[in-house]
């Protein structure tokens, strides 16, 4: 099964240079039936990566550009009156796909964000009196601008919690950027081939579920979550002043799934502490609410997660 993962990555690498963390996060989200939120400045191949991944998986892909004037019907679809037949017909929106790129999700108002997040949770859409089940797999990758930019509607914590992973994407290295520029200048792109079927994707998901986690590691993961809620129990008294709300119970649920997927991507049949440490920031950084004091001091959730990792004893 790991050969299939390598084949997918090889196809994506035909058009995407670097960004291994983003590709790993997308594959974890796909294998665990979770959704991924990616924050980063424009031009970091977010759209290109999702498009390439969809093609390599043989799945349908649609992109929705979020804007301040967007309506929920622009994403979900609507009933439209047909004067010729004197009846209403359903016009489906871009949500009816396998992989949806919700581009700049924090540009759209709250009613659009909540409509999308409801579908992400329920995997169904109601238009008029009819409820439509979405084709599986259904996977959303949402992007957002860094919060310091103007003209955005920041996602509330309760809605952020619906995303399994939040990835912060940085710039490519100098060598990678040189390769990107050369490829674009010379139009050196290979065609991406579908290397797995929907049935094989289901088999990959089943293989992930069979990855072994030692009971001590399961307890270790719960300790990591608890350390964000009760840091004083782990010798982190200072963090009590910095954390307003610790990680939600969804972190524990998603962590048990995500670490299995990480072990699977590495070609292992069991989870190690390395798998947990690798994916923990993506699982937690959007689910810890900082106090005003911490924000004023410029403390980030990533710094807090690192302190938690160092304080909790590894089994």
Confidence of residue 67 (pLDDT cuts 50, 70, 90): confident
pLDDT of residue 291: 83
220, 176: one domain: no
Q: At CA 65, angle to CA 119 and CA 12, rounded to 5?
A: 85
pLDDT of residue 150: 59
| pTM, 2 dp | 0.86
For 201-219, the pLDDT digits (tens) are 888 888 999 999 999 999 9
217, 98: one domain: no
26, 139: one domain: yes
- Tell whether the model's pLDDT for residue 1 goes beyond 70: no
182, 218: one domain: no
- d(Cα 15, Cα 13) in Å, to the nearest integer? 5
For 243-288, the pLDDT digits (tens) are 888 888 889 999 999 999 999 988 888 999 999 999 999 999 888 8
pLDDT of residue 21: 83
For 94-123, the pLDDT digits (tens) are 888 888 888 888 888 888 887 887 788 888
149, 27: one domain: yes
Residue 67 is assigned to a structural domain of this protein:
yes
45, 89: one domain: yes
Q: Tell me the sheet residues that pair with 124.
A: 133
Quickly list DSSP for 192-232.
P-----HHHHHHHHHHHHT-B--HHHHHHHHHHHHHHH-GG
Task: Count Cβ atoms within 10 A of the Cβ of residue 106 and give its class: 0-12 exposed, 13-18 middle, 19 or more buried.
Answer: buried
Cα 161 to Cα 59, 74, 205, 249, 254, distances in angstroms: 26, 24, 22, 10, 11
pLDDT of residue 22: 84
For 12-62, the pLDDT digits (tens) are 877 777 778 888 888 899 889 889 998 877 777 777 888 888 888 888 888
| SS3 state at 101 | strand
pLDDT of residue 215: 92
Cα 28 to Cα 25, 71, 200, 233, 283, distances in angstroms: 5, 30, 15, 31, 11
User: Can you give the residue range of the structural domain that contains 127?
Assistant: 2-186
Residue 206 is assigned to a structural domain of this protein:
no
Contact status, residue 67 vs residue 107, Cβ threshold 8 Å: yes
For 128-177, the pLDDT digits (tens) are 778 888 888 888 888 887 755 555 667 777 778 889 999 888 777 778 77
CATH of residue 300: 1.10.8.80
Count structural domains, the chain: 2
181, 243: one domain: no
CATH of residue 140: 3.40.50.300
154, 258: one domain: no
| SS3 state at 287 | coil
109, 253: one domain: no
pLDDT of residue 255: 92
Contact status, residue 288 vs residue 247, Cβ threshold 8 Å: yes
Residue with tokens 């169904």: 124
pLDDT of residue 257: 92
Residue 65 is assigned to a structural domain of this protein:
yes
Q: Give the HSE-up count for residue 121: Cα atoms under 13 Å, Cβ half-sphere.
A: 13
Listed residues 186, 221, 238: the one ending a domain: 186
pLDDT of residue 149: 58
- d(Cα 79, Cα 22) in Å, to the nearest integer? 37
Residue 222 is assigned to a structural domain of this protein:
yes
């Amino acid at each position: 099964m790991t050969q299939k993962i390598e084949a997918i990555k090889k196809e994506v690498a035909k058009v995407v240079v670097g960004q291994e963390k983003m590709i790993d996060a997308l594959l974890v989200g796909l294998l665990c039936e979770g959704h991924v939120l990616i924050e980063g400045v424009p031009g970091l191949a977010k759209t290109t990566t999702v498009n390439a991944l969809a093609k390599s998986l043989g799945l349908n892909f649609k992109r929705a550009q979020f804007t301040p004037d967007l309506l929920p019907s622009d994403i979900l679809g609507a009933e439209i009156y047909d004067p010729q037949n004197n009846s209403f017909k359903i016009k489906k929106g871009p949500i009816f796909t396998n992989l949806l790129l919700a581009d700049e999700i924090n540009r759209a108002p709250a009613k659009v964000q909540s409509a999308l997040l409801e579908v992400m949770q329920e995997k169904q859409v109601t238009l008029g009196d009819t409820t439509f089940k979405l084709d599986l797999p259904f996977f959303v990758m949402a992007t957002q601008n860094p919060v310091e930019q103007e003209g955005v509607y920041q996602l509330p914590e309760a809605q952020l919690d619906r995303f399994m992973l939040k990835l912060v994407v940085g710039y490519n290295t100098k060598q990678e950027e040189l390769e990107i520029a050369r490829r674009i200048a010379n139009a050196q792109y290979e065609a991406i081939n579908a290397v797995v079927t929907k049935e094989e994707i289901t088999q990959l998901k089943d293989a992930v579920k069979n990855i072994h986690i030692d009971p001590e590691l399961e307890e270790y993961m719960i300790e990591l979550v608890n350390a964000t809620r009760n840091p004083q129990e782990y010798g982190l008294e200072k963090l009590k002043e910095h954390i307003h709300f610790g990680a939600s119970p969804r972190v524990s649920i998603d962590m048990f799934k995500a670490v299995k997927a990480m072990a699977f991507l590495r070609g292992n049949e069991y989870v190690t502490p390395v798998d947990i440490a690798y994916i923990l920031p993506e699982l937690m950084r959007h689910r810890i609410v900082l106090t005003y004091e911490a924000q004023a001091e410029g403390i980030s959730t990533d710094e807090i997660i690192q302190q938690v990792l160092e304080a909790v004893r590894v089994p």
